[in-house]
Amino acid sequence: MTDNLLEVEGLVREFAVRGRHQNVKAVDDVSFTIARGEALGLVGESGSGKSTTARCVLRLIEPTSGTVRLNGVDITSLRGRELREFRAKAQLVFQDPYSSLNPRMRVEEIIAEGIRIHRPRVKDAEVRDEIVALLEVVGLRPDHLTRKPAAFSGGERQRIGIARALAVNPELLVCDEPVASLDVSIQAQILNLFQDLKARLGLTLLYIAHDLATVRHLCDRVAVMEQGQIREIGTRDQLYNDPQAAYTKALMAAVPRPDPIEERRKLAARRAALTGATP
């Protein structure tokens, strides 16, 4: 518990739903920590509260209650300059690489924005050098700078989004299903990029996904969410080899295996369970 970069405690976020008396708890008493340099995977099905948790951690939406501490500082009450300084420490990579890039801006402007906001006195030439270096880190070419997002593929756009997040030198990178909308072949490239970044820059990752395979590839520890609550949290090997919670087991069972015989057996077992249940 000595060097935790992020500590989330008792996080709750409610949403008012029209026509319903009670608020819906999208995030219901979630607590976890991430050590510096660690990658925590947050897994769960759609609507389980993963993205809401991420946005509360980044203060893009306000949590109803609970605390989020980055470097021991509670960020839920930050205002003005302090909030702006926090913005440079934690960044977000989006799921949708299309709507997350402004179609009217050139790549250069998109990536430079964080530098312009947090270090407004840096000269243009230096900003450019930094951006070129960033492009290299994420695997893009300098001649991409003057183009607009429309000229790029999904994978390239995601790289631009990652470069934009890295431009402010964040300590924590929150990735909200960053590969979910990419082709499988591109997914692997982006995942490797994250792994590379983690090793090279010592980044701490909160990696959100709904499939277990990508998480296993990248994360040191994994938390499983269901209906706004964390069902299970543990190291990767613990969770994958010996899942405890019923929901985790169900998730594991849903992972397709590259073995047709095994798959057929599983399908038969599921069918048998179904017919057995009907009277």
Partner 1 sequence: MKILTRIARFVWNQKLVTLSIIILVAVVASALLVHLIAPFDPYAQDLVLRNKPPLTPAPGGGIHLLGTDPLGRDELARLMLGSQISLSVSVASVVISGLFGTTVGLIAGYYRNWFDDIMMRLVDLQMSVPSLLIALLVLYVLGPSFVNIVLVLAVTRWMVYARVSRGLMLALREELFVEAARSLGASNFRIIVRHLLPNLAAPILVLATLELAVMMLTEASLSFLGLGIQPPESSWGLMLAEGREYLTSAPWLVAVPGIAILLTTLSVNIIATWFRARTASTSAVRGGEEKITSEVEI
> By the criterion CB under 8 A, which residues form the site for partner 1?
58, 60, 83-84, 87-88, 90-92, 94, 96, 99-105, 113-114, 117-118, 150, 161, 164, 168
Are 151 and 160 in contact by the 8 Å Cβ rule? The answer is: no
| Cα-based angle 34, 48, 57 (whole degrees, multiple of 5) | 35
Are 134 and 67 in contact by the 8 Å Cβ rule? The answer is: no
Q: For partner 1, give the closer residue by CB, 11 or 110.
A: 110
Q: For partner 1, give the closer residue by CB, 40 or 101.
A: 101
Q: Cβ of residue 92: shortest distance to partner 1, in angstroms?
A: 5
Q: Residue 256 is inside which H or E element, if any?
A: none
Q: Cβ of residue 164: shortest distance to partner 1, in angstroms?
A: 7
Q: For partner 1, give the closer residue by CB, 98 or 240.
A: 98
Q: Cβ of residue 58: shortest distance to partner 1, in angstroms?
A: 6
CB atoms within 10 A of CB 82: 12
Q: For partner 1, give the closer residue by CB, 25 or 118.
A: 118
Q: Cβ of residue 240: shortest distance to partner 1, in angstroms?
A: 31
What is the per-residue DSSP string for 131-155?
HHHHHHHHT--GGGTTS-GGGS-HH
Q: Is 243 helix (H, G, I), strand (E, B) or coil?
A: coil
- Among residues 206, 233, 214, 211, the alpha carbon closest in space to that of 222 is found at 233
Q: Cβ of residue 234: shortest distance to partner 1, in angstroms?
A: 29
The partner residues of 92 in beta bridges, in order of sequence, read 174
Q: For partner 1, give the closer residue by CB, 25 or 106.
A: 106
